[in-house]
Amino acid sequence: MSQIDPRAHLDPSASLAPGCVLRSGAYVGAGVCLEAGVQLDANAALVDCEAGQTTRLCQGVRVGANATVLAGVVIAAKAVVRPGSVVTRAVPPNAIVEGNPATIVGYVDTLHEAAAALRPAPGSGPASVETTSVRGVSVHQFPIVPDMRGNLTVGEFERQIPFTPKRYFMVFGVPSREIRGEHAHRRCHQFLICLRGSCSVVADDGERKVEVELNAPNRGLYLPPMTWGIQYKHTPDALLMVFASDYYDASDYIRDYADFLQAVQTTRAH
């Protein structure tokens, strides 16, 4: 059963699933669909849709006080809209958005790995590997060899990086508000290094999430198969290099988060 404050407005054409909460002054306009467990705090507004438009807030979404969601926007499951924000476009699952226009500033229930400082280590000592709370995901810190002619850092595939690459790609020129990735691979392994600037990577195994900042050319992140990956918070000069264990294969991608969660459950059941 939903909880609707007497001072909230719910348009007759809007649909409301069980378990929703509408606080005082919340406004749910025409053509809006609220799935189970959505919460609108005080004075949050979901603008009326025009003919042919639908605004959808998926399961477990929370919209903070005085926030506004424009018509036709889809906010995916468990996303959070912070107070006072104005949402003008789709929000992915578990994202936390803020501002006007709203941009992604984080992800729900995500641990943060502290970014290691760039400390040149003399010689060519061994690389260090830090495990994370996410299944199989690891942070790699490679040695730096300082030289007056220019510093050097090096890593070795199969010895320090657990696969042999067959493909690479680079991502650059990403506007700071944009996100990349938002998919998983069934078979492909990946290794990410931000060669210039910085960006943050969210790795998700379907149970736990961790956010890692890549901010140095000797710091890398290993993503095994069946890991949902997102890259965001790019600096203007960010240059991300990604090594992949396989050639491009469209069938290897899982691009819908709900499909990913289902695939994880199926894989672990066997």
| Catalytic residue set | 183
Q: Which helix (H) or strand (E) holds 257?
A: helix 257-269
**208 contacts 137 by C-beta, under 8 angstroms:** no
**How distant is the alpha carbon of residue 264 from its chain centre?**
17
**231 contacts 240 by C-beta, under 8 angstroms:** yes
**264 contacts 205 by C-beta, under 8 angstroms:** yes
| The one-letter amino acid at 72 | G
Cβ neighbours for 6, distance < 8 A, ≥ 6 positions apart: none
**Cα separation, 226 vs 222, whole angstroms:** 12
Q: What angle do CA 207, 208, 211 make, to 5 degrees?
A: 150
Q: Which residues are bridge partners to 173 per DSSP?
A: none
Sheet holding 32-34, edge to edge: 15-16, 32-34, 55-57, 74-75
**27 contacts 70 by C-beta, under 8 angstroms:** no
Tracing tokens 């996100």 back to the chain, one arrives at 179
Give the single-character DSSP code of 250: G
